[in-house]
Amino acid sequence: MSSLASAAVPAGADARLLVRQIAQARDSFLTSGVAPRLLRPVVAQSWRRSLSLGLDPQAVQPPVELDGEQLRGYRSAHPLAAALPVVRRLLVDQAAEAGLLVAMSDDAGRLLWVEGASTLRRRAERMAFVEGACWSEARAGTNAPGTALALGQPVQIFAAEHLASVVTGWSCAAAPVHGPDGRVLGAIDITGGDEVAGVATMLLVRATVAAVEAELRACAPAGAAPAASTAPRLEVLGRRSGVAVNRAGATGLRLRHAELMLLLSAHPEGFNGDQLGMLISDHRTAAVTLRADLSRLRPVLAQIGELQLGTGPYRLLGDLTTDYHDVRRLLAAGAVRQALEVYRGPVLADSTAPGIEALRDDLARQVRACILASADPDLLWDYANRPDATDELEVWLACAAVLPPGSPRLPIAQDRVARLDRELSW
């Protein structure tokens, strides 16, 4: 699966030509329902999810769900309020000078702050890109903050890649923000013209998110180490299916139950039936099949702990910890060695559910990137010798580069680099 965080406009591409090609691809898709090859998979999948909810591209109007005192009170109490000075320092001042907008949303896609160039803000008001409006994928169709929250990954949306016709003249780049406990708090977004869809903007957004998450960790209350959690636990790493662990012991789960539990725990805001069906199957899951799967999940949740399945939207009610979230929290805290110890292997290796594949690929990329950035010889050696990295040329190159002269590991790493280089050259 290709990276969802890749630039919408690759370096060296002709942006004007690409605008016309994507517009044609959009018209073709909306007429035939078939995604042209030119279209990025992340966009085609988002369009399908949006259309499955009954959104009309010509009539999408994001609703304003918070305003006045309600908005001011809600955002002043929101955890992201503590990070607002960081965002203003790193993004807003530059955005205003560059004629761009910066927005921060909550985890439901509601815009809490929209700042930047005043002329652009007035233009954005005409498409309801205003504070208090809900720009979730379910309410606004394909857009960077909404789609980033839907997938839990950074996303760029370029021009006609937007589903709503009124937004096709804009481009945006956004990434989700995680709190110290690993939960998604919201998203940070840059919105403007075609230039927003380049590589540099995505890097800037991700760097700002990293700074915000560091600030939130620094602001978290200090104190004694928390007591061991008594909440039930879902283990999905390095397993073909999942295992539920509680005080009574460990219980193997059906793959579908593990998939649903992980997706629901990774998206506490929940899903409607169509959204969840699209994440479970490449083909739209029949409503009756999904309802049957969820019905069978309810007694499993009750058995492993005080968990319930909420409806309208479907969501988990109760506390559930997962090894997937443990790795993400450790990486965010810079504890890369501990994260690798918890990361026993890919997420639910037997699953072909699109939503699980996205979580699997994203976590694998995060682990790999943090280990490469560490430049720690022992850490790189341990990772390079894992089954999921043993054929990674870049990992072995990094390993050979940091191993000290005279290390007995160095000739092994150099030999592996030479072998992989030959194989990739064939």
Query: What domains lie within the chain, and their CATH numbers?
Result: 15-219 (3.30.450.40), 229-374 (no CATH), 375-426 (no CATH)
**Residues 132-150, mean pLDDT to the nearest whole number:** 93
**pLDDT value of position 223:** 52
Q: How confident is the model at residue 1 (pLDDT cuts 50, 70, 90)?
A: very low
On the question of pLDDT at 127 being above 90, the answer is yes
In angstroms, how far is CA 87 from the centroid of its own chain? 19
On the question of pLDDT at 258 being above 90, the answer is yes
Residue carrying the six token digits 């636990």: 233
**Residues 395-414, mean pLDDT to the nearest whole number:** 90
On the question of pLDDT at 175 being above 90, the answer is yes
In whole angstroms, what is the distance from residue 326 CA to residue 246 CA? 16
The neighbouring-strand residues paired with 310 are: 315
Q: How confident is the model at residue 23 (pLDDT cuts 50, 70, 90)?
A: very high
**Residues 134-153, mean pLDDT to the nearest whole number:** 91
The gap between the terminal CA atoms of the chain, to the nearest Å, is 23
pLDDT digit string (tens) for 35-63?
Answer: 888 888 889 989 988 888 888 999 998 99
**Strand, helix or coil at 379?**
helix
φ, ψ at 102 (rounded to 5°)? -120, 130
On the question of pLDDT at 22 being above 80, the answer is yes
Residue carrying the six token digits 């390993």: 399
**pLDDT value of position 164:** 93
In whole angstroms, what is the distance from residue 358 CA to residue 2 CA? 10
What angle separates helix 393-402 from helix 409-425, to the nearest 10 degrees? 150
**Strand, helix or coil at 168?**
coil
**pLDDT value of position 287:** 67
pLDDT digit string (tens) for 338-351?
Answer: 888 889 889 998 99
Burial class (CB in 10 A: 0-12, 13-18, 19+), 305: buried
In whole angstroms, what is the distance from residue 19 CA to residue 291 CA? 40
CB distance 234 to 242 below 8 Å: yes
On the question of pLDDT at 255 being above 50, the answer is yes
The token pair that represents 218 in the structure block: 């620094």
Single pTM value for the model: 0.54
